Structure 1
Amino acid sequence: MRTTILAATAAMALAVAPLQAEEETLKMATIAPSLSAAITMATFANIVNDHVEGTEIEVSGGGAATLHMVEVARGNLDLSMTSPVVYNLMSSGKAMYAKTPEAPELAKNLKLLMWYPYGAYHFTVRADSDIKTLDDLEGSTVFLGPTGGGAYNGAKGWIASTTGLVAGEDYEAIKANWQTGFQAFMDGKIDVYVTGCLDPCGQFIQITETVEIRFLAPESHEGEAVEKFLGKFRAREDIPAGLYDGQTNDGPVTSWGTHVGVGVRADLDEDTVYNITKAFWDNVGQVSSDAPWAKRLSVNEAALKLGMMELHPGAARYYREVGVID
């Protein structure tokens, strides 16, 4: 009798095994879950999980995209956030990758699934602060983003190029992750909080429930240093007045924005990447009414040639089908 049960169990296992083999779990890493760029990636995963049979994306939030990109290239992750500027730096082994000698070679293992707007960088103070413009930051405490990350370097660069103020010399750039930096501002422990996001941003909805805020612009956003900072992949972006109940700006505030993207392992199966790309763009309209930021997403921008990063063949197949690329 025992032999019969074992034989039957083995037969069942063999019958189930092919079905299990067809299931594919992809690992995605993104930045702090509360940030709009991370919400976009989580939305991507949710849509894929709902519409692509046999494929599931598991999302983990936290950490820096600059490190996640390395892990994707090493094969420890399947998808992560990327950006044109950061990918170019990785390919050349510069800035945050200067101490990672294998970075240029690893960059070859990363391909693009899509670009999407990161949103304007919001340089934020309480409404009763004496800091009226970015030029007033001298002596203040500022959260620019996690040290060494792309957001940190971008925010620091905008301040330096527009005002000449240098982090660590003219003002203190605190060392904190996204959650800690946000909480420090909420608790009144720092003067300035910086984050990029697609409005309306959850962070500012939450902040303005208890305090009024003001977004900062530089006294001037023109000049050679600014143009060099913006380069080919960043652009001036205005933050409109009246976005939040506690926002005191009476007119648009000029800042800057950029694109970020979803990067994938270069050796991820072409059909898999095609299927998840198609599923997202075919169904993202279903969330637009509930998520105003999703209206900023555009399939026409998704495959733009931004920097050195190349489209994954599976993604390229989809964008070719819909006429976005030749």
Structure 2
Amino acid sequence: MLSIIRPVIAALTACCLGMTVAQAETRVTYKSAKSTSSYYQMAVQIAEAMKTGSGGNIIVTVEESQGSVQNVMEAAVRTGNYVFTTPPVLVRLAQGGKAMFKDKANPKFDEIRALFPIPSLTMHFVMRSDSGVSTFADLEGKTVLIGKGSFGAREGAKYLKLFGLEGKVTLADVELNNAVPALKNKQIDGFVTAGSYPAPNVIEAAASTGVTVLSLSDEQIAKTKRTRLVIPAGTYAGIDNEIVTTSLPVVAHTTTSMDDDTAY
């Protein structure tokens, strides 16, 4: 992940260096993801780069979030310099009042604008290595944590339904932040997480417990209507095979409340 985000951070720093030192301090709120996610760590790095590159003129405060849906919803009520991350598809759904935004339409959603892309959201179906699960068919009768309220949680539930597993898998009532301890204590057989790879919680689980990350077949990928992505072998401890999964573009957005000089 670091090799992917360094160019983004370098570009942001370079842009900031072009600003005048005399500029008054500007404060920006960056709504990210769970504090245990790769996206949150990335946001912290971006905040540091912005402060350094602007000579302290731009101060970015990173906020934890329950996920992309919450980030988009807050765009309707936040004022000033509000930056948030989400797949662009959620912005389109919000603007159209569809899916999870049904009956929540707001003209403020039309004021959202894109800033810059960040590494894609990558689906991880992580199973304890002693769970006996190596394919999606093996998930039947198992207990899996998918989280609550986030885009990743909805995506995980969608995949289980698409693959004929709805009602055949017990969904654990545990927050995603507690996935690794729950896996270690054998409260769950696995968890679903969606973030850029390598994902911190998957790294921790692989190092401390031993895990298998499920691969999707080409047929399953086609059902999801997402982009095929291959996580290289050796990305996670103990996993020497490539992991075939899906990804979705993610972009940092703001609203027209932010002036152009700060945005760009």
Measured against the shorter chain, the TM-score band is 0.7 to 0.9
Aligned to 1:255: 245
CA RMSD of aligned residues (A): 2.4
Contact kept, 8 Å, 1:26 with 1:79, in 2: the verdict is yes
The TM-score with structure 2 as length reference comes to 0.82
What residue number does 2:58 align with?
55
Q: 1:204 to 1:173 in 2, by over 3 A?
A: same
1:227 to 222, 240, 246: 222
Q: In 2, distance between residues paired with 1:182 and 1:264? A: 33
CA distance in 2, matches of 1:269, 1:201: 33
What's 2:232 paired with?
Answer: 240
Find the counterpart in structure 2 of residue 23 from structure 1: 25
Q: Deviations over 1:197-239 (max 9, x none)?
A: 3333322332233221111124x3317xx53532xxx301122
Q: Please tell me whether residue 137 in structure 1 is matched to residue 139 in structure 2.
A: yes
Instruction: Please give the per-residue CA displacement for 1:261-283, whole angstroms capped at 9, x wherever unaligned.
Output: 11112221001111xxxxxxxxx
Instruction: Give, in angstroms, the shift of residue 113 of structure 1.
Output: 0.7
Q: Which residue pairs with 1:179 in the alignment?
A: 177
Alpha-carbon offset, residue 21 of structure 1: 9.3
| Aligned match for 2:98, one of 86, 94, 101 | 94
Partners of 2:72 and 2:90 within 8 A in 1: no
Runs of 4+ displaced beyond 4 Å: none
Partner of 1:82: 86
Name the larger-Rg structure.
1
Q: What CA distance in whole angstroms lies between the structure 1 residues aligned with 2:231 and 2:58?
A: 38
For 2:58 and 2:208, locate their aligned partners in 1 and report how far apart those are by CA, in whole Å: 42
Q: Assess if the C-alpha contact under 8 Å between 1:117 and 1:258 holds in 2.
A: no
Identify the structure with the greater strand proportion. 2
The corresponding residue for 1:268 is 258
- CA gap of 1:244–1:160, structure 2 versus 1, over 3 A, is same
Alpha-carbon shift at residue 119 of structure 1 (Å): 4.4
Moved more, 259-268 or 178-187: 178-187
Name the structure 1 match of 2:164: 164
Percent identity, aligned pairs only? 24
Higher share of residues assigned helix:
1
Aligned residues: 242
Distance 1:242 1:179, change over 3 A: same
Tell whether the 8 Å contact from 1:120 to 1:238 is kept in structure 2 after alignment.
no
Q: Aligned pair in 2 of structure 1 residues 98, 185: CA closer, same or farther (>3 Å)?
A: farther
Is residue 2:113 matched to residue 1:111?
A: yes
Q: Distance in 2 between matches of 1:192 and 1:199?
A: 17
Using the alignment, how far apart are the partners of 1:107 and 1:238 within structure 2?
A: 33
